Amino acid sequence: MLHIGAHLSSSKGFEKMGKDALFIKADTFQFFTRNPQGGKAKDINAPDVQKFLEISNQNHFAPIVAHAPYTLNPCSDNLKTREFAELVFNDDLKRMEYVPFNYYNFHPGSHVGQGTDVAIEMISTLLNKVLTPKQSTMVLLETMSGKGSEVGSTFEELKEIMGRVECQDKIGVCMDTCHVYSAGYDIKEDLDGVLEKFDNIIGLEKLKAIHLNDSKTPFASHKDRHEKIGEGSLGAEALIKFVNHPLLKHLPFVLETPNDLKGWASEIEFLRANFND
Ligand code: FE
Ligand code: FE
Ligand code: ZN
């Protein structure tokens, strides 16, 4: 069984996302915890969450993935921005306990000229402030393409951050296929080699979720432009191989392709048709 979904709009609440997921034949999905450009999150509506949990249980959903806002930058050179990151992180993790035992994915951050060493220290400092042994949510670092001063475009950087985290059982990685390919990991021609690298540096047991995207830009371009499945530089064949890889096929896959619900429904149908149970 392929566990797959898409990045859905959270503006109408959890029940609506559950229904949208069913509509596109998904059994997982991702959503922004608040406006991706920052701002205040809407209050949790307990009956709405309850209805979602029923949908999720009845349909045996895989873990879902919350995505932190893009404005969350734990390694900014501005103290106010770092404080905002802590505030949002804490608030989001508190809210995630309404839908326990799922994932919270975030972009490690941009070092804005301070260098990766300083950034790695700042990111792990934030994680050690906000993670607690009793939370049920697992926090995922997203693999980045390396545009601008982004941290986390190499497995080594992710390892450095994670190695400093005290709550080891609350931290994992979400691999974005567009980002890693743009970052220079050739998952098209040498998926086995990339996974071996990941395993040696981070450990495959830390890989918890996948953002499944094609890429508008070529290999190692260090850009971040998602494309529809089969229409980009990765191509359908590589992405089909990816979801079928014995080391990956059990993971939840989330499409972040430029699509609407109908477009995602057909991508999911296509990938399910090409999935070997
Ligand atoms: Fe992301
Ligand atoms: Fe992503
Ligand atoms: Zn991206």
What pLDDT, in 10s, does the model give residues 193-228?
999 999 999 999 999 999 999 999 999 999 999 999
How far apart are the CA of 17 and the centre of ligand 2, in A?
Answer: 18
CATH number where 146 lies: 3.20.20.150
Ligand nearest to the CA of 209: 2
- Mean pLDDT throughout 260-269? 98
pLDDT band at 127 (very low <50, low <70, confident <90, very high): very high
How far apart are the CA of 253 and the centre of ligand 2, in A?
Answer: 11
How far apart are the CA of 254 and the centre of ligand 3, in A?
Answer: 12
Ligand nearest to the CA of 176: 2
192 token code pair: 């086995």
Q: pLDDT of 95-116, one tens digit each?
A: 999 999 999 999 999 999 999 9
Ion ligand 3 residues within 5 Å by Cβ: 224
How far apart are the CA of 182 and the centre of ligand 1, in A?
Answer: 14
In this predicted structure, what is the pLDDT of residue 39?
78
pLDDT band at 91 (very low <50, low <70, confident <90, very high): very high
pLDDT band at 36 (very low <50, low <70, confident <90, very high): confident
- In one-letter notation, the amino acid at residue 207 is L
How far apart are the CA of 51 and the centre of ligand 3, in A?
Answer: 30
pLDDT band at 40 (very low <50, low <70, confident <90, very high): confident
How far apart are the CA of 225 and the centre of ligand 3, in A?
Answer: 6
In this predicted structure, what is the pLDDT of residue 247?
98
- Mean pLDDT throughout 27-46? 92
The pTM is what?
0.98
Q: Is the pLDDT of residue 24 over 90?
A: yes
Q: pLDDT of 145-200, one tens digit each?
A: 999 999 999 999 999 999 999 999 999 999 999 999 999 999 999 999 999 999 99
- Give the Cα separation of 268 and 247 in Å (integer): 20
How far apart are the CA of 267 and the centre of ligand 2, in A?
Answer: 17
Helix (H, G, I), strand (E, B) or coil at 115: coil
| Domain, as residue range, for 238 | 3-273
Ion ligand 2 residues within 5 Å by Cβ: 176, 211, 256
Q: pLDDT of 4-15, one tens digit each?
A: 999 999 999 999
- HSE value, Cβ hemisphere, 13 Å, CA-based, for 4: 28
Q: Is the pLDDT of residue 38 over 80?
A: no
How far apart are the CA of 224 and the centre of ligand 1, in A?
Answer: 10
Ligand nearest to the CA of 224: 3
Name, in order, each residue with C-beta under 8 angstroms of 122's C-beta and a sequence gap of 6 or more: 74, 75, 82, 109
Locate all alpha helices (DSSP H) within 143-260, ordered by sequence: 155-163, 177-183, 191-201, 235-244
How far apart are the CA of 134 and the centre of ligand 1, in A?
Answer: 26
How far apart are the CA of 259 and the centre of ligand 2, in A?
Answer: 14
How far apart are the CA of 179 and the centre of ligand 3, in A?
Answer: 6
pLDDT band at 53 (very low <50, low <70, confident <90, very high): very high
- CA 108 to chain centroid, in Å, comes to 11
Number of domains in the chain: 1
